[in-house]
């Protein structure tokens, strides 16, 4: 059984500081990531996911939504894999 992992766009935003929600190294981040780009990366990875209109608690005013992914591995591995896919679209 897969665990659900929640991903927010701010995790991948190279313009943010770590304390503002970025979870990847700046080199792996992208400028202004959106849910559509994250969904495209997840489709390429053939990962099962659903989009939700919930928002990161520290960034609730941004109203950017989130993606819930069915993932067997750890969350950090998922975040890095998605970040690498996002980075390839630069």
Binning pLDDT at 50, 70 and 90, where does residue 75 land?
very high
Q: Which of 23, 25, 19, 28 is nearest to 9 (CA)?
A: 23
**Res 89: pLDDT:** 56
How many angstroms separate the Cα of 46 from the Cα of each of 69, 75, 82? Answer: 11, 16, 11
**Res 90: pLDDT:** 46
How many angstroms separate the Cα of 74 from the Cα of each of 17, 50, 78? Answer: 23, 18, 7
Average pLDDT of the chain is: 92
With vertex at residue 9, the alpha carbon angle to CA 5 and CA 15, rounded to the nearest 5 degrees, is: 135
pLDDT single digits (tens) 13-54: 999 999 999 999 999 999 989 999 999 999 999 999 999 999
- Block residue for tokens 């067997």: 72
Binning pLDDT at 50, 70 and 90, where does residue 56 land?
confident
| All domains in the chain, ordered by first residue | 3-87 (3.30.56.30)
DSSP-based three-state secondary structure for 79: helix
């Amino acid at each position: 059984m897969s665990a659900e992992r929640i991903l927010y766009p701010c995790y991948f935003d190279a313009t943010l500081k770590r304390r503002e929600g970025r979870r990847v190294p700046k080199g792996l981040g992208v400028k202004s990531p959106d849910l559509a780009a994250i969904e495209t990366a997840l489709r390429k990875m053939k990962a099962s996911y659903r989009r939700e209109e919930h928002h990161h608690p520290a960034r609730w005013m941004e109203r950017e939504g989130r993606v819930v992914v069915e993932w067997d591995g750890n969350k950090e591995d998922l975040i890095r894999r998605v970040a690498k896919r996002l980075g390839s679209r630069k």
